[in-house]
Amino acid sequence: MRTRALVIGGTGPTGIHIVQGLIDRGWDVTILHRGTHERAETPDAVTHLHHDPYDADDLRRAFEGRTYDLVIAMYGRLRRIAEITAGRVGQFVSVGGVPAIRGWMNPFLFEPNGLPVPVDEHQPTVQEPAEDEKGYRVAQTESVVFEHHPAAAHFRYPYVYGPYQVVPREWSIVRRILDGRSRIVVPDDGLTLHHHGFTENLAHAVLLGVDQPEAAAGKVFNAADEEVLTVRQVVELCASALDHELEIVSMPWDLATPSRPLMAQPLPTHRVLDLTRLKADLGYRDLVPARTALARTARWLAANPIMPGAPEEVVLTDPFDYAAEDRLIDAWIALRAAMPSVHFANEPGIGLAYSGPGGRPRTRTTFEA
């Protein structure tokens, strides 16, 4: 019977929920971390090993005289962790990232530019550092994991949102709301789809891999929310959750400079994961719908605001320069107002096949069965 579990990390945004999930399942849980981020949410029954997961020698010392039925590696140098734990553990579950996917970080690798939509686990990974240095390292790490643990289950995280998130996309919206802003800039009407994962949903995905070791063995899984929200929807849902009126000012991508931190990529193209394997092989469904999760996140950030200049704001790279934003918005509004009125002899339509609002009228006033 499997009883002893080690979580390397365990105090991050998803680690908190993974640890609790293991406890709820009856595991004897130990977490290995540096001890710099203890969480009140960590159950008292958890054993703490304070070592540096980035230091290979220290990590080896942590395993002296110890074996585990399960290791979940979600923090530290994953390659070294995979090497050191080989032969010392039963089930090995690891967490990596979507930058391994070729084109996720470099949309210019495709012509026309932009990652294919959606991308499944068969999409090629980054094989050349020149294409994407970080993505190359992440992809090579995946290979090392399976070299040392052929039956491993590896989960690719996208950007994580929710309490304690490391890259707080929603803070670009929430801080503007807290600061009393009434306008926010988005590119191209905010129609970009960018896959994210709520903390509880991603933890649930990993725990499904723990629960079903045979179904998960030897596989890479894309993990994320089932619904992919547009940037506009993200803004609107955050504003609604905080009962705030926020005018969305749409500009062409090359002019919408203030939106860059919110977009977190060099083009407004889509980044969408195919979750078929996760859903078919492990039975994944969101624990928390994306729209509900986003509202929770906005309210949590409002109640736990990030201090100006804190690491989360540094990572976000949003200067919150409202004076410059206002000058840009006002110039854009003036430019649009100065546009001449152009008359078309034959007004362009949206196609006779379209039957929604404003589309082709019915040929009959009544419906006949």
Give yes or no for a contact between 45 and 29, defined as CB atoms under 8 angstroms apart. yes
Identify whether 170 is part of a domain. Answer: yes
Dihedral angle sign, alpha carbons of residues 310, 311, 316, 319: positive
pLDDT reported for residue 1: 63
Q: Given a cut of 90, is residue 353 above it in pLDDT?
A: no
Identify whether 256 is part of a domain. Answer: yes
104-117 pLDDT, tens digit each? 999 999 999 999 99
Alpha-carbon distance values, 312 to 111, 208, 229 (Å): 34, 30, 22
Beta bridge partners of 89: 68
Identify whether 45 is part of a domain. Answer: no
Which CATH number is 230's domain given?
3.40.50.720
Identify whether 306 is part of a domain. Answer: yes
pLDDT reported for residue 352: 82
List the structure tokens of 153: 């289950």
Q: Given a cut of 90, is residue 24 above it in pLDDT?
A: yes
241-257 pLDDT, tens digit each? 999 999 999 999 999 99
Identify whether 279 is part of a domain. Answer: yes
Give the torsion through C-alpha atoms of 143, 149, 152, 155, to 10 deg. Answer: -40
pLDDT reported for residue 37: 76
Q: Given a cut of 70, is residue 72 above it in pLDDT?
A: yes
- Ranking 29-38, 144-153, 359-368 by mean pLDDT, the lowest is 359-368
Q: What is the mean pLDDT of residues 185-201?
A: 98
Q: Taking all residues of the chain, what is their mean pLDDT, rounded to a whole number?
A: 94
* The total number of structural domains that make up the chain: 1
Domain that holds residue 265: 86-336
Identify whether 355 is part of a domain. Answer: no
Identify whether 112 is part of a domain. Answer: yes
- Rg value, the chain, Cα: 24
